[in-house]
Amino acid sequence: MLEINILRSEKDRVVAGLRKRNFNDDDLKNIDRILDLDDNRKKVLTNLEQLKAESNQKAKEIGALFKSGKTEEANTLRNLVAASKEQIKEQEEQVRAVMQELDTALLDLPNIPHPSVVAGKGEDDNEIVKDWSGELPAFEGFEALPHWDLADKFNLIDFKLGVKITGSGFPVFRGKGAQLERALINFFLAQASKAGYEEIVPPLMVNADTARATGQLPDKEGQMYYVEKDDLYLIPTAEVPVTNIYRDEIVSVDKLPIKLTGYTPCFRREAGSYGSDVKGLNRVHQFDKVEVVQIAHPDQSYAILDEMVSHVEALLIQLELPYRILRLCGGDLGFTSALTYDFEVYSAAQGKWLEVSSVSNFETFQSNRLKLRYREGNEKPQLTHTLNGSALALARIVAALLENNQDENGISIPTVLQPYTGFSRID
């Protein structure tokens, strides 16, 4: 959620930013509407508070009169004050209405893109900031199989079984497939720990307050699985519960940056997506992911973003996967993000680049909702910046590993993973 004072004091920047997100003139009117609502809020609030102040004052007088035994006078005054109650109630209702309208409008406004973000319609306009300069895997003398065929051939992943147990998009990993999955999780967590992140095992279900604070509600409501009976949401990413650890907290500035990591399964309804890119592991409803989260001082957050990008890059290098790094354009940038780098990995048999990581700086957008602040000395608390990134998302990494490392008779495991898998080859 954007801070109103930014809307007010840096309106030009806000407008320019939202234009990158393809806001048209009509959409932009919302900004003026919000400012008007805020003006109105102040007006009615001042009014109400004045009424309350008067009423409080009188109440004190009545108390004093009763105490000194002047019952007659007290009762007279009491009747007088009772009359103003109606007025206060009316004003309160007005304030409530304005605040709610303001809140709703503010909740619908996405984050302002960083200056480096270019305008653009969608994913085709994303900038490749680092392309793959090496060779892409090539296969000679045999026909390379896509990962769903490899999974079948070597009994690693059973998609049909998942359909039977749950539905489409819930793959069953088994045997060496399951072990590879677990090995990757352990490898990623070990790397994150080595980089100084504290490991968290969070709840996989969250309440609405939590989902709202990181921005999934109301924006992504339809994309989350919702358990109505208990009013809980299945997490779409560990970002949600992990970042919310610090909701409503004021941390001392010397605690920053706070670095957290967590492995969780992620649940996504993926409503409305279909077509060839949902085949196999490319797009599933449940997948494993190791997430890294940082809570940072505003002055440091962009340096930290770079650090997180390097961390993810190092993982891909160690896994020997061809990758490229994209800076998302305004049209593809997530609702809550100011700047996002996406990592894509080449999955050779499909001949496709698959998104495996998204690393973002949210600046104060989340912390404003989280009420997550830091304090420097005796200064007034300030909003922190929050960042997170996938390090990494498993399903598509598995797809690429299987496809890229296949030969005629089997699949070899990258050296760095072998201590985690306990085997060097699938055949």
Partner RNA sequence: GGAGGAAUGGCAGAGCUGGUUGAAUGCACCGGUCUUGAAAACCGGCGUACGUUUACGCGUACCGGGGGUUCGAAUCCCUCUUCCUCCGCCA
In this chain, which of 29, 32, 36, 49 binds RNA, going by CB under 7 A?
49
Based on the shown chain and the rule CB under 7 A, indicate whether residue 201 belongs to the binding site for RNA. Answer: no
CA distances from 301 to 12, 248, 384 (A): 23, 20, 9
In this chain, which of 141, 275, 380, 409 binds RNA, going by CB under 7 A?
380
Based on the shown chain and the rule CB under 7 A, indicate whether residue 57 belongs to the binding site for RNA. Answer: yes
d(CA 385, CA 365): 8
Based on the shown chain and the rule CB under 7 A, indicate whether residue 247 belongs to the binding site for RNA. Answer: no
* Residue whose CB is less far from RNA, 11 or 78: 78
DSSP 236: S
d(CA 313, CA 325): 9
In this chain, which of 32, 33, 53, 128 binds RNA, going by CB under 7 A?
53
Based on the shown chain and the rule CB under 7 A, indicate whether residue 85 belongs to the binding site for RNA. Answer: yes
Based on the shown chain and the rule CB under 7 A, indicate whether residue 153 belongs to the binding site for RNA. Answer: no
d(CA 370, CA 8): 21
User: 193: how many CB neighbours lie within 10 A of its CB?
Assistant: 12
* Residue whose CB is less far from RNA, 50 or 104: 50
* Residue whose CB is less far from RNA, 8 or 269: 8
* Residue whose CB is less far from RNA, 191 or 364: 364
CA distances from 205 to 236, 311, 412 (A): 9, 28, 36
Q: How many residues does the chain have?
A: 427
CA distances from 366 to 165, 201, 363, 419 (A): 37, 21, 7, 38
Would strands 323-327 and 339-347 be described as parallel, antiparallel, or unpaired?
antiparallel
Q: Which two structure tokens, joined as six digits, stand for 322?
A: 């061809």
How far apart are CB 14 and RNA at their closest, in Å?
A: 18
In this chain, which of 12, 67, 135, 138 binds RNA, going by CB under 7 A?
67
In this chain, which of 13, 32, 36, 63 binds RNA, going by CB under 7 A?
63
Based on the shown chain and the rule CB under 7 A, indicate whether residue 62 belongs to the binding site for RNA. Answer: yes
Based on the shown chain and the rule CB under 7 A, indicate whether residue 163 belongs to the binding site for RNA. Answer: no
Backbone phi, psi, residue 385, to 5°: -100, 150
Q: Which two structure tokens, joined as six digits, stand for 332?
A: 């593809």
Question: Could you tell me what percentage of the chain is helix, strand and coil, using 3-state DSSP and rounding each to the nearest 5?
Answer: 45, 20, 35
Based on the shown chain and the rule CB under 7 A, indicate whether residue 378 belongs to the binding site for RNA. Answer: yes
- Spatial contact of 324 and 131, defined as CB atoms under 8 Å apart: yes
Based on the shown chain and the rule CB under 7 A, indicate whether residue 250 belongs to the binding site for RNA. Answer: yes
Based on the shown chain and the rule CB under 7 A, indicate whether residue 335 belongs to the binding site for RNA. Answer: no
Q: CA gyration radius for the chain? A: 27
In this chain, which of 13, 33, 36, 50 binds RNA, going by CB under 7 A?
50
How far apart are CB 85 and RNA at their closest, in Å?
A: 6
How far apart are CB 378 and RNA at their closest, in Å?
A: 6
Site string for RNA, 218-237 (x = CB under 7 A): --------------------
Based on the shown chain and the rule CB under 7 A, indicate whether residue 66 belongs to the binding site for RNA. Answer: yes
In this chain, which of 52, 130, 182, 279 binds RNA, going by CB under 7 A?
52
Q: Which two structure tokens, joined as six digits, stand for 117?
A: 């973000």
- For binding to RNA (CB under 7 A), which residues are involved? 42, 45-46, 49-50, 52-53, 55-60, 62-63, 66-67, 78, 81-82, 85, 250, 373, 375, 378, 380-381
